[in-house]
Structure 1
C-alpha cells in the first residue's frame, strides 16, 4: 500500500502523510501509514463495536477479529497512539476515526452513509463545495476522555485545513436499536438542532424514523443533552446541526442521526484552539 495516501491515486499531500497532526501528553494522532496500522485500527474497532457494544459480526469478521468493509481501502484513517505504551507502534493505537473524501467515495461507488441518508442529494445542491464524511469513530474504554477527543479533533482540523474542506458530515449513533429509549434526546435534537434548509439531509424513505417523540413541554434541555453520546455533544458544541429523521441500524444495534457541520459555522474559539501547533495544549 502506498504510504502517501490510502486512496489510490489521491494523495494526502506533502507535509501531512507522515507528520503528527495532534498531540496532548503521551497521546499522538496522525494518519495510518500502512496495512499493519489499518489492520490494528480495525481490531480496535472490532473490540469496541462487536465485543463491547454487541454489533452483529459475520463469520469472516469473527475469524479475523476486525471490523472491516469496502470503504477502508479508499479512506484516510486518523489514529491516536498512546506513546507511553510498550511494544510496536501499531499496538499502541487507542482511538481511530475514518475520513472519506469525495475522491474516495467516487472509487467506492458512494459514501458509507448513503445507505441511510440522502447525502448525495445534499452534495448535488452544493456544486463546488468539498465534502468530507467522518465515520467509524472509536476509542478504547480506558481512553474515553477529553484529552483523547481533543487529540482527535486537532488531527481532524489539520486534515480539514489541508484538504480545504467546506462541509463535514456523517452518521452519529445512539447505542441500542429502540428510538423510544432515546426519546428525550432525539426530540430535543428534532426541535432545537435541525439543519437549515440549505444543509438539510433526510433519512431515506424506506428507513426513516421520526425523531420528534415527545411534546415540547416534556423535554428538559439539560437532561436531554446529558443523555446524548459524547460524540454528538461534541459536534453540537462546534456548531453542527442534525438532519431529518433517524435510522435504526440492526447490524450495529444503534439509532443513527445525521450530522452536518459546514466549516464556516465552526465557532472561532474552537478554530483558534484546534489550530494550535500540536503539543502546545496542556500535557
Structure 2
C-alpha cells in the first residue's frame, strides 16, 4: 500500500483518480501554499505585528505558509517523535503534522530569536504553537475539529449569537516548557480573544495513554468536580464515548488526582475551565481526550489581574 502511494508521486496530480488515497492524504499539505490558502479564505489577521515579548521569546501569529509549515514541523516533532502518535507514510515522509483544518486557522507561535542554526548563526526558531479556529472558518469546513470527537451542537445552539473559538494542537518544544513560554502563549490567546471579541473557548485536551482504567482517578476527578453542566454541558459522541466516572466520588482523592493531571489541563482548571461528559480514546495520537470549555465570563479574575485586562504583562 505504501509503495503504491509513493509510486503515485511520479504521476501528475491531474492524472490521479479523485478518490486516490494519496490525494486525500496530501491535500492538507497542498493547502498550505500562498495561492491556495488565499483562495480557501485564510488571510493575515489584523493584529499587531508582535503580541508580546519576554527576553528573546516573542509571541505572534504566523505570517504566511512558511511559518505554518514550521508550526507543523514542531507539532510532528512533539506529537510523533517525542510522544506516542503514529504517523502514516505521508506524515513520516514530510515530517509534518498537517490536516485539512490548518489552512482555515490562525496559528499562534512562540519564536526564540536567540536560537542558533547548525552553523552557529542566529536562526529564529518556532518553539511553541497553538491553533486557533473561529466559527466562520469552521462552518466552511462543516464543523470544528473537536466535533469529530464531541457533540457540541446543543452547547452552540444554546448560545446562538456568541462567538466561539476552538483551541487545538498546542505544543511546546521540550527545553522551552517553562512558565514563561506557557504564559506567553496565553498572553497571545488573550490578545486574540479581545481582538475578535470571543465569548467562549473550547477544545480537546489530552492524557497520555489509551487505557481509561489507568486514568481512572484523574478522569473521575474531572467528572465529579469540574464537569460542565446546564447550558454549557456537552458530551462525547455516542460511538466514541468513554465513561469518565470510573470511581465513585467518595473514592476520589482530589490532591492525588491533581498531581496526575497534565500541565495543560491543570492550567485550564486554574483558568476556570469546565469539562465535558465522557472522554474519547484517540489511538492514532496515543491519548485519551477530554473536552475543555472556557466561557470568557468564567475566567478566574485572578488570572486576568495577573496578565492585566489589556494583556500588558508581556506587551511588545
Q: The TM-score by the shorter chain falls in which range?
A: over 0.9
Map 1:122-271; keep pairs closer than 5 Å. 122-271=155-304
CA distance in 1, matches of 2:199, 2:107: 19
Q: Matched residue of 2:84: which SS?
A: coil
Distance 1:7 1:151, change over 3 A: farther
Deviations 1:229-278 (A, max 9, x none): 11110011010000000000111110000000000001222123323325
Q: What is the rounded CA distance, in whole Å, between the counterparts of 1:115 and 1:135 in structure 2? A: 13
1:56 has 2:86 as partner: yes
Match of 2:311 in 1: 276
Shift of 1:2: 6.4
Q: Deviations over 1:78-113 (max 9, x none)?
A: 000111113599851101000010111012221001
Q: Which residue matches 2:5? A: none
Deviations 1:149-176 (A, max 9, x none): 1000000000000000000001100001
Deviations 1:24-69 (A, max 9, x none): 2221110000111111110110011011112111111000000000
CA distance in 2, matches of 1:279, 1:7: 34
- Counterpart of 1:78 in structure 2 is 108
What CA distance in whole angstroms lies between the structure 1 residues aligned with 2:279 and 2:39? 30
Deviation of the 1:181 alpha carbon: 1.3
User: Once structures 1 and 2 are overlaid, which stretch shifts more, 215-224 or 110-119?
Assistant: 215-224
Question: Using the alignment, how far apart are the partners of 2:39 and 2:279 within structure 1?
Answer: 30
Distance 1:276 1:113, change over 3 A: closer
Q: Deviations over 1:110-143 (max 9, x none)?
A: 1001111012332122110000000001111111
Gaps of 5+ in 2: 1-32
**Count of aligned positions:** 278
Residue number in structure 2 paired with 1:47: 77
Q: Taking structure 2 as the reference length, what is the TM-score of the superposition?
A: 0.83
Distance 1:133-1:263 versus aligned 2 partners, 3 A rule = same
Query: Distance between the aligned counterparts of 1:94 and 1:7, measured in 2?
Result: 29
The answer to whether the 8 Å contact 1:7/1:104 transfers is: no
More displaced stretch, 113-122 vs 204-213 = 113-122
Distance in 2 (alpha carbons) for counterparts of 1:89 and 1:67: 26
Flag structure 1 segments of 5+ consecutive residues without an equivalent: none
CA distance in 1, matches of 2:313, 2:217: 38
CA distance in 1, matches of 2:158, 2:84: 37
Residue pair 1:171, 1:256 contacting (<8 A) in 2 also = yes
SS state at 2:227 partner: coil
Cα distance change of structure 1 residues 276 and 127 upon mapping to structure 2, 3 Å threshold: closer
What TM-score, normalized to structure 1? 0.92
Distance 1:197 1:207, change over 3 A: same
Structure in which a larger fraction of residues adopt helix: 2
Shift, 1:6, TM fit: 7.4
Give 2:12's aligned residue: none
